[in-house]
C-alpha cells in the first residue's frame, strides 16, 4: 500500500474532471440546482496530521446525506445501540434512498437502515433537545469537535429551500409516526433534519471528519477520543453496506472503503490506518453520487490498494 501525496491527488483529480460531463446537478432542491458542475475539489487528511488538497479546496458545500453518519453517531452516543436499533434496522436496501415502499411491506414499519431517508429521519428524531434549536446545537457541537473548528454551521438558504420542498420526507415521517416509530412534531423534526443536511464544510474539514473515523474515533492529531470505538465501527459498517445508496455493492467491489455520499456532490471516504478523504463534484450519476468523486476514488483505491476486502 503506497502512501498518498499531494501530487497523486492533483494528478488524479485533473484526470477525472472530464467525467463531470456525464452527470447532472441535483435540481429537486432549488438551492442546489445552481451549483456549477465544473467545480471540483479533493482533500486527504492523513492520520499523522498532514492534509493534502487539490482543486477548489476552499469551496464550501452542504454535506446533505453525509450528515446521516454524524446524526447516527450522536444518537448512539446519547442512547446506546439497543435504543437506536429498536427504531431503525441494520440491513441494506436496493430501493432508492427516498423510497417509502419497504415501510409499507415491513412489520412494524421500521426503516431498513440509517442511511436511507426514512431511517435517517428516525435517527434524527432521537437527538436530545427540548426543541429543534437545541437538537441542532447538539449535532453541531459534535461536528465542530470532529472538525476541530467552531465556525462550522449550516447554510440557512439551503435549509429553507429543503424545508419548503420536503414533501416526500414529510410523508415518510408521518407514515412512521402512525406506526409509533417517530414521536413529537413532524415540522420540528423536518426543521432539524433540513438544517442537519445543510451543514456546510469544505473538503479539508470533511476529510478531517473521515480521518477521525479512520482513527477509530480518535482525533488524528491529539489522539483524544472524540467518538467511542464501537460507535465509529458501527458507522463505518453502515458506510460500507449502505453509504453509497443503491450503488453500495458495486462501490464495495470497485473501491472497497467505507464511504458516504450526499446529493450536493460530496463523498467522504475512510481509509483504514491511513486517513480520511473527501471529494466534491456536484455532477451526479443516476444513483445520486458524484461522478467525479466516484471515478477519483476508483483510481486512487486501485493505485493505493485501499480496499478492505
CA distance 72 to 238: 10
Which residue in the list 71, 193, 261, 264 is annotated as catalytic?
193
> Is 153 designated active site?
no
117 annotated to a ligand binding site:
yes
65 annotated to a ligand binding site:
yes
Which residue in the list 69, 209, 263, 291 is annotated as catalytic?
263
Q: Is the peptide bond before 145 cis (omega within 30 degrees of 0)?
A: no
Which residue in the list 16, 25, 52, 65 is annotated as catalytic?
65
Name, in order, each residue with C-beta under 8 angstroms of 156's C-beta and a sequence gap of 6 or more: 198
> Is 154 designated active site?
no
> Is 65 designated active site?
yes
> Is 28 designated active site?
no
CA distance 256 to 288: 19
User: Could you tell me the CA-to-CA distances from 22 to 25, 97, 199, 292, 302 in Å, in that order?
Assistant: 10, 21, 27, 9, 22
User: Could you tell me the CA-to-CA distances from 283 to 29, 165, 182, 260 in Å, in that order?
Assistant: 14, 21, 33, 16
Are 100 and 172 contacting, i.e. CB atoms less than 8 angstroms apart?
yes
Number of Cβ atoms within 10 Å of the Cβ of 59: 14
154 annotated to a ligand binding site:
no
Give backbone dihedrals phi and psi of 201, rounded to 5 degrees, phi first.
-145, 175
User: Which single residue is written with the C-alpha cell 415501510?
Assistant: 103
Which residue in the list 45, 68, 88, 240 is annotated as catalytic?
68
202 annotated to a ligand binding site:
no
> Is 68 designated active site?
yes
Task: Please give the annotated binding residues for substrate, written as ranges.
Answer: 65, 117, 162, 169, 193, 245, 263
Active site residues: 65, 68, 193, 245, 263
Task: Please give the annotated binding residues, written as ranges.
Answer: 65, 117, 162, 169, 193, 245, 263
Amino acid at each position: 500500500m503506497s502512501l498518498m501525496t499531494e501530487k497523486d491527488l492533483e494528478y488524479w483529480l485533473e484526470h477525472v474532471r472530464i467525467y463531470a460531463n456525464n452527470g447532472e446537478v441535483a435540481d429537486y432542491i432549488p438551492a442546489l440546482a445552481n451549483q456549477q458542475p465544473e467545480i471540483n475539489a479533493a482533500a486527504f487528511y492523513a492520520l499523522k496530521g498532514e492534509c493534502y488538497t487539490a482543486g477548489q479546496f476552499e469551496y464550501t458545500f452542504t454535506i446533505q446525506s453525509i450528515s446521516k453518519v454524524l446524526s447516527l453517531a450522536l444518537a448512539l452516543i446519547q442512547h446506546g445501540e439497543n435504543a437506536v436499533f429498536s427504531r431503525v434496522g441494520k440491513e441494506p436496501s436496493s430501493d432508492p434512498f427516498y423510497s417509502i415502499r419497504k415501510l409499507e411491506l415491513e412489520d412494524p414499519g421500521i426503516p431498513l437502515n440509517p442511511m436511507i431517508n426514512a431511517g435517517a429521519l428516525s435517527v434524527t428524531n432521537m437527538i436530545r433537545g427540548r426543541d429543534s434549536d437545541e437538537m441542532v446545537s447538539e449535532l453541531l457541537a459534535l461536528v465542530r469537535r470532529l472538525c476541530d473548528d467552531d465556525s462550522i454551521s449550516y447554510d440557512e438558504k439551503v435549509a429553507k429551500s429543503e424545508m419548503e420542498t420536503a414533501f416526500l420526507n414529510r410523508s415518510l415521517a408521518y407514515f412512521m409516526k402512525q406506526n409509533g416509530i417517530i414521536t413529537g412534531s413532524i415540522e420540528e423534526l423536518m426543521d432539524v433534519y433540513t438544517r442537519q443536511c445543510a451543514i456546510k464544510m469544505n473538503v479539508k474539514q470533511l476529510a478531517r471528519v473521515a480521518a477521525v473515523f479512520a482513527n477509530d474515533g480518535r482525533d488524528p492529531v491529539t489522539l483524544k477520543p472524540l467518538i467511542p470505538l464501537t460507535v465509529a465501527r458501527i458507522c463505518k459498517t453502515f458506510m460500507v453496506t449502505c453509504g453509497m445508496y443503491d450503488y453500495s455493492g458495486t462501490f464495495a467491489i470497485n473501491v472497497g472503503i467505507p464511504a458516504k455520499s450526499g446529493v450536493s456532490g460530496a463523498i467522504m471516504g475512510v481509509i483504514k490506518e491511513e486517513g480520511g478523504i473527501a471529494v466534491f463534484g456536484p455532477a451526479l450519476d443516476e444513483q445520486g453520487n458524484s461522478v467525479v468523486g466516484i471515478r477519483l476514488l476508483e483510481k486512487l483505491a486501485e493505485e493505493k490498494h485501499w480496499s478492505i476486502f
